[in-house]
Amino acid sequence: MLRSTVFGVLAATALIAVSSTSPSDAADMVKKIGAGEGAVDIVAWPGYLERGETDKNFDWVTDFEKKTSCKVNVKTAGTSDEMVALMNEGGFDLVTASGDASLRLISGKRVQPVNVDLIPSWKKVDPRLQKAPWHTVDGVHYGVPYQWGSNVLMYNTNIFKEPPKSWSVVFEETTLPDGKPNKGRVQAFDGPIYIADAAMYLMKHKPELGIKDPYELNEDQYKAALTLLRQQRQIVGRYWHDAFVQIDDFTNEGVVASSSWPFQVNILASQKKPVGSTVPEEGATGWADTTMMHADAPHPNCAYLWLEHSINPKLQGDLAAWFGSVPAVLDACKGNALLTDEGCKTNGLDNFERIHFWRTPVSKCASQGTCVPYYRWVTDYIAVLGGR
């Protein structure tokens, strides 16, 4: 009890610090773009910034460098936590932060407000994303939406003739359509944010808990989610962490259902493996990434030039085709040769309302008084994985 109180106080202090400093940050916002500094350093997900080195059709960096003379240096990061760590370290201009990192960056004062008036294409951004809570605090924008997508339920089409209707195949001990139990044949993600997937499942199956948002859980709801995950631990052999290890597990380990990304689905499908993907009735968690700017960005002008470039329809369409994601600019969905006109729909454009976007759980939450903050998600999820 004492421990949670101490942590609560600490987290609350952090929040107070955020709200009290935000306005002054807004006043320090860049007012106009000067000449480019010749370079821009970006922390990004692997595959997010392509310069045609993997496949020459996918290149949205070279023409930017030609046009602006800003050389783009990319540092890839494998997880949100790594991104936060890199930004805490400093020396970068921009980061393609997911919702579970963005609020942490804002409260840690690692990123600065973005003056959307300096970005002409801002008005083209999908209106559903323009004021998204993972980058807008007190009406101040801390970044420009980049791409979004949803996690999916990947399944083996030899076992499931019909797409599974519910996530229950990975959460509950059950018998699969081939008559064998699912124990040892399903997987889950090994990151703490997966607790939200459990909470999302409970929203539908245990309405009496009153979960309104899977990222905002009070003690009882949180406990129920952990109970569900402990139950899941019994049927999951190995949790997936590395996309390629999961691909191998579907190929060689007899794994037939798991939460996954469109990325793995596309690769396995391209290898003619019997896999399909679906978003079951409970919905899905997803990610929405925002390009954010470091508070001490060494090249602010090039950074602004990139922010404008990042939401041009050509880049957005190409990236969506490459990554299996959905563009932040709807104009990108039409007339892109790589994405095709069906691409946005395939990648889940219409699922927007059913997707619970990754956000960092904090103690002071909107839907109810106090929620369980992220640091406890980390330790508790490690404990669940350890079978405790």
Partner 1 sequence: MTALALEPMPRTSPLRRLSGVLYRHPHLLLLALLGPPILWLGVVYLGSLIALLLQSFFSIDEFSGVVNREFTLRTYGELAHPANLDIIGRTVMMAAAVTIAAAAIAFPIARYMALHATGRTKAVLYLLVMLPLWSSYLVRVYAWKLILAKEGIVTWVFDQLGLAWLLDGILAIPVIGGPSLSISYIGTFIVFVYIWLPFMILPIQAALERVPASLLEASADLGAKPRQTFRKVILPLAFPGVVAGSIFTFSLTLGDYIIPQIIGQSRIFIGQAVFIHQGTAGNIPLAAAFTVVPIVIMAIYLFGAKKLGAFDAL
Enumerate binding residues for partner 1 (CB under 8 A): 3, 7, 10-11, 14-15, 78-79, 81-82, 84-85, 88, 104, 107-109, 183-185, 190, 236-239, 241-242, 245, 248, 251-254, 360, 362-363, 373-375, 378-380, 382-383, 385-388
CB of 375 to partner 1, least distance (A): 3
Tell me the sheet residues that pair with 152: 260
Q: Which two tokens stand for residue 300?
A: 């602010």
Select 80 or 277, whichever has its Cβ closest to partner 1.
80
Select 206 or 238, whichever has its Cβ closest to partner 1.
238
CB of 21 to partner 1, least distance (A): 12
CB of 18 to partner 1, least distance (A): 8
Distance of CA 23 to the CA centre of its chain: 27
**Rounded to an integer, what distance in angstroms lies between the CA atom of residue 98 and that of residue 151?**
13
Select 236 or 315, whichever has its Cβ closest to partner 1.
236
Select 207 or 387, whichever has its Cβ closest to partner 1.
387
CB of 79 to partner 1, least distance (A): 5
Structural contact between residues 322 and 315, judged by C-beta atoms closer than 8 angstroms: no
Nearest Cα residue to 205 out of 143, 134, 268, 283: 283
CB of 383 to partner 1, least distance (A): 3
CB of 119 to partner 1, least distance (A): 27
Q: How many CA atoms does the CB half-sphere of 317 hold within 13 Å?
A: 18
Rg (CA), the chain: 21
Select 192 or 348, whichever has its Cβ closest to partner 1.
192
Beta strand 39-44 pairing with 71-76: parallel
Select 366 or 382, whichever has its Cβ closest to partner 1.
382
Cβ–Cβ contacts within 10 Å for residue 181, how many? 11
* DSSP codes of every residue in 102-127: HHHHHHTT-EE---GGG-GGGGGB-H
